[in-house]
Structure 1
Amino acid sequence: MIKPAQLSIHGVSRTFTGTRGQRTQALLPVDFEVRENDFVTILGPSGCGKSTLLRIVAGLDFPTTGEVLLDGQPIEGPGADRGVVFQSYTLFPWLTIAQNIRFGLRERGTSEAEQKERSEFFIAKVGLRGFEHHYPKQLSGGMQQRTAIARALANDPKMLLLDEPFGALDNQTRVLMQELLLGIWESAQKTVLFVTHDIDEA
């Protein structure tokens, strides 16, 4: 039996209008569906609209045409059902690693005990045990990105959206992070939408 689509993208395009009225088409109309627990890679050169599409799915931008449905409901903004990891290390520099991972849980009103339990679980999962009380500036790029992935997963999203998350890492660290991500995907059973311009990585 074929599973129904978890994410449906129908005729989605994005055009930006400049200050002088000039129009730039960042994303041509696109249609595809993603089923639950799928790992889908969006591959293409820089400037082809990959990140624009991911931002639309994340609810951080809106399509000029078409619609995006998650479990049959239109996406109208950001939500805890989608965890996002960007290429840049988007951690809060004034928070420790544990506090960064617990941030979303705290905002949702999760109990202190559950925050602690979930953050400790994902800190161990991404191999950062012993660094809980460090600040982002004290960590390498790979460790910061592991923290970002742990923060996204701690909220228990239905879908993980990754926008060239390993693009700024050296080759050795990138391979380790790819293996980590695949291991998490297999164990956590999350739907993953992964953007990259690297053919080998795809």
Structure 2
Amino acid sequence: MGQGHRRTNLIDEDERIFPGWYAPVLIVENGRRVVKPMRYQCRLAGKSADYDRLYPGTYNARRDNLEGFWGGTFGYTHGITVVSAFYENVSRHKAEGRELAPGEKDESVVLEFRPSEPQDMLVACLWSHWRDRNNEPELQSFAAITDDPPPEVAAAGHDRCIIPIKPEYVDSWLSPDPKNLAALYAILDDRFRPYYEHSLAA
């Protein structure tokens, strides 16, 4: 979880959730909403412990692969995490809206994307409860669902974007019906759609 749990003073980095770190995730358990700490990098149930190394990108779940790679969770174990911004690595020249100059090396920078009207966003997630037969510690972990970016995110040089859902869909999202995936896709499609402003991350 990094070093933040040993400090008493806040720093800018504390606002961010990095893959492998833990974050609060809202789920429904036994018919009640509960918040659980889960690792932000999903290890799917039934996979081996080295899954994290083999699939390091499982902190994001692509919308176009929800019934494929994520088929055991989509329609079954849904969550929501609350964020006010998201962060992405992009090429500096793309963020600056230009081509690479002759001889210039591609340089990565981190951009912070926030709604132009500051507010919390309810990010659609999938989660899994992993257990192992070899006495490994149990793990609850999650992934944020991502989709093609809106124009302003694409123009800043990134090709994916989180999906914030509208508050009126929280109950339906957290208690999904695996026999009605169309209703779940409809929630993702009718998403909360702010305009994202970006800046270089601190």
Indicate the TM-score class for this superposition, using the shorter chain for normalisation.
under 0.3
TM-score (norm 1): 0.25
Query: Which structure has more strand as a fraction of its residues?
Result: 2
Query: Which structure has more helix as a fraction of its residues?
Result: 1
